[in-house]
Amino acid sequence: MLFLYFTNALPALHKYGLDLYLKNVWKAAEEPSKEVYGIAAAIWGSIYTSIIAIIIALPLSVAYAIFIVDYAPKKLKNFFTILSDIMAGLPTIIYGIWGAFFLVPFLRDLVMKPLYRYLSFLPFFSYPPVGGYSYFSAGVLLAIMITPFASAIIREAYNMVPLTYKEAIYSLGATRYEATKILLGYIKPAIISGTILAFGRAIGETVAVSLVIGNTFNITLALFAPGYTISSLIANQFGNAFIYEYMTPVLFAAGLTLFVIGLVVNVIGLKILKRWEESVRL
C-alpha cells in the first residue's frame, strides 16, 4: 500500500518538492505548466479538527467508561455497552448527513453565534459563523464519532484492573469518587493509548467531515472558519482529477501523508496499550 502511494505520488513530489506540503494553493489547469498545488491547508485541517475532537471526546470517553463500569445500574450496563458499540459501528455517512442537517444548524445558532457575539475579540472566535460549516462543526462531529471507540478501550482497561486493587483501596476507607481517581491513575497508559488511537481514527475520517467542514482552503485558528482535510480533499477532487496531469499524483501525495500519520499514530497507541496489558498480567 505504501509502495503504491509513493510511486503514484512521485511525479507531484518531483515537480513541487516540499512546496507541495508547505504552500496553500490549489490551481488546476488543463495546461500542466500552469498547474500549482499545495496541500498545507488540508494537512492543517486534518490535524486541527482531530485535536478539537480529542479535546471534546477524551473527558466524555472517560466519563462514559467509568459510568458503565461503576455507576450504571446492573440492568442498564448491557444497554449502555451495546449502545456504545452500535454507535462505533454506524456507517460514517449516517453521521455526516445527521451532522449537516442537524448538528451544524444547532451549533451555529446556539453555540457559534453567542460565542462570536461576545468573544469575537479572541482569535478562536473571530470568524463570523455564517453557514456553520467549519472546523468546529467537523471537530464536534468527529468527537461524537470517536467517543464510543475511545470509551470501549478505556472501559476494557478499567475492567482489567484486578479486584484485589479495588478491595485494597476501599479497605483504606476511600469513597467511590476517591477510588475512581486512583484507578484512573492506574490505567493512565490505556487512556493515553485510547486517545492516540482515537486521534488516528479521527484524522482519517472522510465522508462525514467533508459534509460539515465547508471544504475551503484556509489556514487559521478561527474555529468557525470553513476548512479542508486531506480526506475530504481526496473525496471531493478525485472524481475529476484525471482531467489534469498533476492533480492525481498530488492527491496520492496527500494520501501518502495521511497514511504515514495514521500509521505512526496507531503504532504508538498500540505499543502503549500492549505494554500496559503485559504489566497488568504480570
Instruction: Give pLDDT, residue 282.
Output: 58
Query: Which of helix, strand or coil describes residue 159?
Result: helix
Looking at residue 76, its pLDDT comes to: 86
Distance, in Å, from the CA atom of 184 to the CA atom of 149, rounded to the nearest integer, reads 18
Pick out the chain residues at pLDDT < 50: none
Q: Is the dihedral of CA 213, 214, 215, 220 positive or negative?
A: negative
Closest CA to 257 of 54, 49, 38, 91: 38
DSSP-assigned letter for residue 245? T
Cα angle value 211/215/216 (rounded, 5°): 160
pLDDT for res 71:
86
CB 63, CB 181: distance < 8 Å: no
Secondary structure string (H, E, C) spanning 210-242: HHHCECCCCCCCCCCCCECCHHHHHHHHHHHHH
Q: How many domains does the chain have?
A: 1
Domain CATH code at residue 112 = 1.10.3720.10
Q: Three-class SS of residue 25? A: strand
Q: What was the pLDDT predicted at 11?
A: 92
pTM of the predicted structure, to 2 decimals: 0.89
What Å distances lie between residue 262 and 12, 98, 198, 230, CA to CA? 21, 26, 10, 12
pLDDT at 280: 63
C-alpha cell belonging to residue 155: 472501559
Q: What pLDDT does 202 receive?
A: 87
Q: To 10 degrees, the CA torsion angle through 213, 91, 79, 194?
A: -60
Domain assignment of residue 205, given as a range: 2-281
130 secondary structure, DSSP code: S
Length of the chain, in residues = 282
